[in-house]
């Protein structure tokens, strides 16, 4: 029989660590305990729940479906507890609410100081916290409560989210100023055929350059590299090591600074809608909705993110 109906925080942290590291020794090191202590903690959790959480496979632990579910729940619970602790500390400084924001794919924040100033004027009791580790899977970060608002592109509205339209911005083909294509107002398939090209994802998207320019013209650049950080792509392109297509708002600071030259993608260009997503439960009232609406208002006044 189980000793008690509940697991405590030690057990949740244990499950989270094993899910991340896979081995008792590595998980124990991450938690700052001995391997024997962690093994005892595993047996204690299984005794309390009266079920098996882990099976051994060679030197690694294999999670049962129950452990996988608990690992997902642990991630949410521990994240919420960490947030609660931080929020309580901020209350001493007069902060009533903390709203966490992240951006899909990009870590370009030249727009943040302007919005932060606007936010302090219109919502003085709210503090904005930027979450940098949500770029790869922002929707999951939102639903798992690691972040409260995500800025994302496209028209999709995933289940459990509410959409706040922000602005529409075009994709830009970028090259260094001395590139042969630097003087063109737009590039077409023939222009980019054979060009060294750097992309942050090889997964074609239906509304982007692959589907609307490369595939219809049957002209493709030379896929020189995949670099998952758009900011690193900007540096590589500026150094003359390839070309790319990125969101216009993210590369305009480098264009204004003379480090890059941008051109429309195709004669008519490719416009991409950007939106803020919040959880459905936050769509009717509260500081998360207020910050999302403030971001939409600020973006409308400033023509997007610049």
- Among residues of the chain, what percentage have pLDDT more than 90? 47
Region of 266 (left: φ > 0; alpha: ψ -120 to 50; beta: rest) is left
Per the model's pLDDT, the better-predicted residue between 263 and 213 turns out to be 263
Q: H helices of the chain, where?
A: 9-21, 24-31, 35-49, 65-91, 112-122, 138-143, 189-192, 209, 215-217, 230-238, 248-256, 287-302
Q: What is residue 2's predicted lDDT score, i.e. its pLDDT?
A: 45
Q: Are 67 and 61 in contact (CB under 8 A)?
A: no
Residues of the chain with CATH 3.40.190.290: 95-306
**pTM to 2 decimal places:** 0.71
Class of domain 9-74: mainly alpha
Give me the pLDDT at residue 216, please: 81
Task: Give residue 122's pLDDT band: very low, low, confident or very high (50, 70, 90).
Answer: very high
Local structure of 67: helix, strand or coil: helix
* Cβ–Cβ < 8 Å for 231, 147: no
Q: How far is CA 269 from CA 34, 143, 170, 246, 282, in A?
A: 59, 33, 7, 13, 35
**Mean pLDDT for all residues in the chain:** 88
- Identify which has the larger pLDDT, 219 or 263: 263
Q: What's the pLDDT at 210?
A: 78
Q: In this predicted model, what pLDDT tens digit does every residue of 140-179 receive, in sequence order? A: 899 988 899 999 998 888 999 999 999 999 999 999 999 9
**Where are the domain boundaries for CATH 1.10.10.10 in the chain?**
9-74
What is the C-alpha separation between 71 and 78, in angstroms, rounded? 10
Which CATH architecture does the domain made up of 95-306 adopt?
3-Layer(aba) Sandwich (3.40)
Q: Average the pLDDT over each of 77-81, 135-139, 153-157, 224-228 and give the range with the smallest value.
A: 77-81
């Amino acid at each position: 029989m189980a000793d008690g109906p509940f697991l405590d925080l030690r057990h949740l942290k244990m499950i989270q660590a094993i899910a991340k590291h896979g081995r008792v020794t590595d998980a124990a090191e991450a938690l700052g305990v001995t391997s024997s202590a962690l093994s005892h903690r595993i047996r204690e959790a299984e005794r309390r729940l009266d079920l098996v959480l882990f099976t051994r496979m060679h030197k690694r632990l294999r999670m049962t479906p129950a452990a996988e579910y608990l690992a997902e729940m642990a991630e949410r619970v521990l994240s919420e507890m960490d947030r609660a602790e931080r929020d309580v500390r901020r209350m001493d400084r007069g902060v009533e609410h903390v709203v966490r924001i992240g951006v899909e794919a990009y870590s370009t924040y030249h727009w943040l100081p302007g919005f932060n100033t606007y936010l302090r004027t219109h919502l003085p009791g709210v503090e904005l916290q930027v979450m940098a580790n949500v770029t790869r899977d922002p929707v999951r970060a939102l639903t798992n409560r690691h972040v409260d608002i995500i800025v994302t592109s496209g028209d999709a509205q995933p289940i459990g989210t509410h959409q706040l339209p922000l602005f529409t911005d075009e994709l830009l083909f970028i090259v260094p100023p001395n590139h042969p294509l630097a003087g063109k107002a737009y590039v077409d398939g023939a222009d980019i055929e054979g060009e060294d090209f750097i992309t942050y994802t090889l997964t074609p998207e239906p509304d982007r350059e692959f589907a609307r320019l490369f595939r219809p013209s049957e002209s493709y650049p030379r896929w020189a590299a995949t670099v998952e950080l758009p900011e690193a792509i900007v540096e590589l392109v500026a150094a003359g090591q390839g070309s790319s297509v990125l969101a216009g708002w993210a590369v305009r600071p480098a264009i204004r600074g003379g480090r890059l030259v941008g051109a429309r993608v195709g004669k008519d260009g490719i416009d991409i809608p950007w939106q803020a997503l919040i959880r459905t439960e936050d769509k009717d009232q509260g500081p998360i909705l207020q910050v999302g609406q403030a971001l939409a208002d600020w973006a409308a006044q400033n023509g997007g993110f610049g």
